[in-house]
Structure 1
Amino acid sequence: MDRRPGLNVRLRLTLSYAGFLMVAGALMLIAGWFFLTRVRHVGLIFLPGYSLPVARDFAPMAALTMLFLLVFGLAGGWFLAGRMLAPLDRITHAARMAANGSFSHRIELAGRKDEFRELADVFDTMLVRIEAHIAEQQRFAANASHELRTPLAISKSLLDVARTDPDQDLGELVERLHTVNTRAIDLTEALLLLSRAERRSFTRERVDLSLMAEEATETLLPLAEKHGVTLETSGDIAPTAGSPALLLHLATNLVQNAIVHNLPEGGGIRVHTGVRPGTVVLTVENTGVRLTPEVVATLTEPFQRGTERVHTGHAGVGLGLALVASITRAHEGTLTLTPREAGGLRVTVELPAAA
């Protein structure tokens, strides 16, 4: 937006200080003149030959006083305004650097808390979050490029082998290409779903989270039986507002993650929905190997599958919990991952309850 140039804040504050001082001085002089010339002086004894001052005697002294107040007000106001606005200069410099794409600097304004220091602290917090978000996006872009490149490279290798080897079993080649292509499609769809959740481009409807959990467990029951994992579902009706498709993906990803990262045999999963004051909760708890807090803290990052978890033939695309975290944020909820003492993971999704 184009704006006309104007006086800077320091000069305006200086003129304000000086103007206020001039008005205060003028009022004091007027009050003094009125007191000396208009008020009856009781108890005052004047020396012989003394007469009350007249305007021509009072005017030069008043003019000198007002001139002194003007110079003093301008100089003092300029100094005080500079001292008061010094923190603002640092904040402006930091904002200008951020506008140029540099987010690594911090204001770190010292001193006791006031309006300027509170603004500086908020700006520093914003810079920290922006820097972390940019770093996360850069890691995501690099990982996504790597994950998308892998199936394409595998397909190219399979085709090169088939072209140079006329005795290659075409049925086996087609099956392997089908598997690789399916993985690439799943990854692309997961990336599109993640982008949709981050943009929050969906219509909110009334959704029962318990029905989403029930549908997810019914859909994945064959997979659980294949892995020898028992599924237990319980809880109450949990109404919230959001996208039914995204919330179904959330529940499905949680249950699928609990199935494929479970014990080799005899594992179990407990899916529970509940209602708290103002929120609804979905909890998915599974058995498995013991996880450290350091590993658990990285599980919601894209393409982080957790090196200490048990892998099965269903490797996934590495976006399961990242999608859960993104969908939860898009619905103004909170996601909590807690390692179980006996092994495995407890994932809790808390969303605002429907009105």
Structure 2
Amino acid sequence: MSVRLKLTLSYTAFLMLASGLMLMAGWFFLTRVEHVGLRFDPGYEIPVAREFAPVAAVTMLFMLVFGLGGGWILAGRMLAPLDRITHATRTAANGSLSHRIRLPGRADEFRELADAFDAMLERLEAHVAEQQRFAANASHELRTPLAISKSLLDVARTDPHHDTTELVDRLHTVNARAIDLTEALLLLSRAQRRSFTRERVDLSLMAEEATETLLPLAEGRDVTLETGGHIAPAIGSPALLLQLITNLVQNAIVHNVPEGGTVRVHTSVRPHTVVLTVENTGAHLPPEQIATLTEPFQRGTQRTHAQHAGVGLGLAIADTITRAHDGTLTLTPRPTGGLHVTVELPAAPPAPGDP
């Protein structure tokens, strides 16, 4: 049976039960209670019952028909929002995510369900669009090193006397870039799936480790690294959080002024969160460009293929890792040029023995 039919029978059964109880109460008061002034003598109870029974039967029959008809209409009106939700679900199952239910009327359980479904469709549509854009960009980025490798191999095949040392070096560079891009894509996918084990970590120690690892890169670019702050305990994946800080510091080093640049890394603690800030000198960035820097394959400056130039996924990976740890990443342009990045993560609960 359909839900509408079940509700109709339920309404009718309740109505019939209520009607039967009312008839029984009426018969009881007519024949048993003296103060109503209508108590019958025992000898007249049987004739009264014979007259009362047909009236009761007709009344119950009328209530049955009325209950079935009224219950069917009432159940249909109550379940009408579900028809719209069902239609929207089937449309979404067929691949269309652009429609919305937008259920009118007062706020009730059906309205709450419809609004939640609309919000889910909006998130799904945005996620699918983001994935499609990411897949297109990834295909384009992966096609570039493959096309370069093909061109180099074609040159080697058509020109046997070409300098093989130079060819091998260029192929090695292109292949290394393709490997870096593939590893970055795998890391991004892992962070999006949140398939990692969480444990207690100290962001200040990870900031020191990341800056020590990137110190040769900073010295080669005449960039000064400054690290400081307080112990900042958080809960998460040590490998992913280290990658997050490394990406931010490397991005700050690469996208800096040509000479005499500075990168400052600082950790701090708030009542319920821990904060990591990475600030660097550099070129002036317009606000509209800042909003796109966390999208995959977006770079703050023109595309470059120098060493450690990155594959355009550094900030995208950092943003994904931050969101996977239930945190927020904020990019703010500095008035004098460069970028101020703030990562705020939930603080770890106090460990046993902490003051």
TM-score (norm 1): 0.91
For the residues of structure 1 that align with 2:311 and 2:36, how far apart are their CA atoms?
A: 99
Give yes or no for contact 2:268–2:274 (8 Å, CA) kept in 1. yes
Mapped contact 1:279–1:351 kept (Cα < 8 A):
yes
The corresponding residue for 2:353 is none
Equivalence for 2:20 = 26
Distance 1:306 1:53 in 2: 99
For residues 254-333 of structure 1, what are the structure 2 equivalents within 5 Å?
Answer: 254-306=248-300, 314-333=308-327
The residue correspondences of 1:138-217 to structure 2 (distance < 5 A) are 138-217=132-211
Q: CA deviation at 1:163?
A: 2.5
Following superposition, the deviation at residue 66 of structure 1 comes to 0.8
1:250 aligned residue: 244
Answer yes or no: is the 8 Å Cα contact 1:289–1:344 preserved in 2.
Answer: yes
For the residue of structure 2 that corresponds to 1:54, the secondary structure is helix
Alignment match, 1:76? 70
- CA 1:42–1:27: 2 relative to 1, 3 Å: closer
Counterpart Cα distance in 1 of 2:116 and 2:181: 37
Q: Give the aligned residue type for 1:287.
A: T
Q: Which amino acid aligns with 1:181?
A: N
> Which residue is 1:3 aligned to?
none
The secondary structure found in structure 1 opposite 2:330 is strand
Contact 1:37/1:53, CA 8 A, preserved across alignment: no
Q: Distance in 2 between matches of 1:58 and 1:350?
A: 79
Deviates more, 1:337-346 or 1:305-314: 305-314
In the TM superposition, what is the alpha-carbon distance from 1:107 to its structure 2 partner?
A: 0.7
Structure 2: give runs of 5+ residues left out of the alignment. Answer: 350-355
Structure 1 25/131 Cα, relative in aligned 2: closer, same or farther at 3 Å?
A: same
Three-state SS of the structure 2 residue aligned to 1:210 is helix
| Aligned partner of 1:109 among 103, 111, 116 | 103
Task: State the one-letter code of the partner of 1:322.
Answer: A
Counterpart contact for 2:31–2:45, Cα < 8 Å: no
Task: Kindly provide the amino acid, as one letter, of the partner of residue 251 in structure 2.
Answer: N
Counterpart residue identity of residue 345, structure 2: L
Q: Amino acid of the residue matched to residue 150 of structure 1?
A: T
- Relative to 1, partners in 2 of residues 1:45 and 1:87: Cα closer, same or farther, differing over 3 Å? closer
Give the match for residue 231 of structure 1.
Answer: 225
**Which deviations, in whole Å up to 9, do the C-alpha atoms of 1:102-153 show, x marking residues without a partner?**
2121111112211111110110110111111111111111111111111111
Are 1:65 and 2:27 counterparts? no
* Structure 2 residue aligned with 1:219: 213
Instruction: State the AA in 1 paired with 2:10.
Output: S
- SS at the partner of 1:56? helix
Residue identity opposite 1:41 in structure 2 = H
Q: Separation in 1 of the partners of 2:257 and 2:304?
A: 7
Measure how far apart 1:307 and its partner are: 5.1
8 Å Cα contact 1:291-1:308 kept in structure 2: no
Contact 1:339–1:345 (CA<8 Å) still a contact in 2?
yes
- The DSSP-based 3-state class of the residue aligned with 2:25 is helix
Of residues 179-188 and 323-332 in structure 1, the stretch that sits farther from structure 2 once superposed is 323-332
Matches within 5 A, 1:10-49: 10-41=4-35
Shift of 1:43: 6.3
Deviations 1:45-77 (A, max 9, x none): 99xxx9997110101111111111111111111
Q: Distance in 1 between matches of 2:299 and 2:47?
A: 94
* Deviation digits for residues 280-317 of structure 1 (CA, Å, limit 9, x no counterpart): 11111122222233222211111111357999764311
- Partner SS state of residue 338, structure 1: strand
Residues 89-128 of structure 1 mapped to structure 2, 5 A cutoff: 89-128=83-122
For 1:201 and 1:51, locate their aligned partners in 2 and report how far apart those are by CA, in whole Å. 80
The CA RMSD over aligned residues, in Å, is: 2.3
Partner of 1:88: 82
Q: Give the conservation status (yes or no) of the 8 Å contact 2:228–2:267.
A: yes
For each residue in 1:216-236, what CA deviation from the matched residue of structure 2 results, as whole angstroms up to 9, or x when unmatched? 111112212222222211111
Structure 1, gaps ≥5 residues long: 1-6
Deviations 1:251-273 (A, max 9, x none): 10000011111222332221111
